Structure 1
Amino acid sequence: MDEMMKRRNPTRYLVQAGMIAALYVALTYLSNALGLAYGMVQFRLSEALCILPLFTPAAVPGLAVGCIVGNLGSPMEVVDIVFGPLATLGAALCTRALRRVRVRRLPLLPALMPVLWNAVVVGVELTIWLVPGEAFTLPVFFTNALWVAVGEVTIVYLLGIPLALLLEKKGLHRQLFGE
């Protein structure tokens, strides 16, 4: 079905992906301006958009590209420009694959994908590159991963899931994404 959408209306697919990328970048930069985007506990408002693969396959590349551009201002520089989007891409693919899994009509399991991917990938990033020269240790990694997960859960579950429910309740997901 996802491939059919790309073949049936490639312009719509590209526009959706571009709009999602642009929104992700804008919300990342806003989060950065508010001092929320970087560090062990990150409250990137853009992560609420990680729920959008529930509604369109175009969200997968849109989120990944948005993360690349959004991370251009990262204090972790190239490391975050490479590994952040890989985490986002993995999370978006998994969210898309689990889009029909619901618990009492809530997309709890799909919403967990960005939390897990970012906890692991960003947790490793922080453990290796935050304090250069120190050895990688599991206790430090688990601490970093836990703090990343706290920020991610907060945004995805308190903003992302309500966004998904609002889009569904008002039928906006069909108007915006045609699925």
Structure 2
Amino acid sequence: MKSKNTMFLVQAATIGAIYVVLTLLFAPLSYGEVQVRFSEALTILPYFTPAAIPGLFVGCILSNLLGGAIPVDIIFGSIATLIGAVFTYKLRGSSKWLAPLPPIVANTVIVPFVLYYGYGVNLPIPLMMLTVGAGEVISCGIFGMIVLTALSKVKGSVFGKASYSK
């Protein structure tokens, strides 16, 4: 049991660290009303392991803190990632093509309100939903599916015995 808990913690910490590094490495694209946060490709990882849920959540919190985000963004932006991760985990028994949808939807709905009310971005919320959503489709829908396909080929060697789907 101790080994299983240790593996969970190591996976969560590793996923969180990679999320932070990718977000900060591509910082000019990771923040703002038009953003492609490449680290969001990792939000498909709950499809493989539940350890990705806290890893992504903490990684997002740290990325927002280190990126100079305001408190409302740190809280609600991270909650959007958490919601996406939880629902991706819940979809793991269905088609792999559904895995990127929860983070795309969660961020498309939540982040524009953070930008408008938190940062005072003077653009219509529907327009920001379009721009944030497009960035999420690129990050999660395209790059996330590339990650998912690659990891599906190595299955158990990366995350141990995990639930895999069609």
In the superposition, the TM-score normalised over structure 2's length comes to 0.90
Q: Which has the higher contact order (CA 8 A, sep 6+)?
A: 2
- Distance in 1 (alpha carbons) for counterparts of 2:54 and 2:83: 11
Partner of 2:11: 16
- Distance in 1 (alpha carbons) for counterparts of 2:34 and 2:44: 20
What's the CA shift for 1:8?
7.0
What's the CA shift for 1:166?
0.8
Matches within 5 A, 1:19-168: 19-32=14-27, 35-102=28-95, 107-131=96-120, 140-168=124-152
What's the CA shift for 1:73?
3.1
Q: 2:113, 2:125 within 8 Å by CA — same for their partners in 1?
A: yes
Q: 2:20, 2:63 within 8 Å by CA — same for their partners in 1?
A: yes
What's the CA shift for 1:148?
0.5
Partner of 1:3: none
Q: 1:25, 1:69 within 8 Å by CA — same for their partners in 2?
A: yes
What's the CA shift for 1:108?
2.2
Partner of 1:174: 156
- Distance in 1 (alpha carbons) for counterparts of 2:69 and 2:54: 22
- Distance in 2 (alpha carbons) for counterparts of 1:55 and 1:69: 23
What's the CA shift for 1:7?
7.5
Partner secondary structure for residue 9 of structure 1: helix
Q: 2:108, 2:132 within 8 Å by CA — same for their partners in 1?
A: yes
RMSD after superposition: 1.8
Q: Percent identity?
A: 42
What's the CA shift for 1:50?
0.5
Count of aligned pairs:
161
Bigger radius of gyration, 1 or 2? 1
Q: 1:51, 1:95 within 8 Å by CA — same for their partners in 2?
A: yes
- Distance in 2 (alpha carbons) for counterparts of 1:7 and 1:125: 40
- Distance in 1 (alpha carbons) for counterparts of 2:5 and 2:140: 29
- Distance in 1 (alpha carbons) for counterparts of 2:37 and 2:26: 5
Partner secondary structure for residue 156 of structure 1: helix
- Distance in 1 (alpha carbons) for counterparts of 2:2 and 2:43: 24
Report the CA distance shift for 1:82/1:27 in structure 2 as closer, same or farther (over 3 A): same
Query: Which consecutive unaligned segments of at least 5 residues does structure 1 have?
Result: 1-5
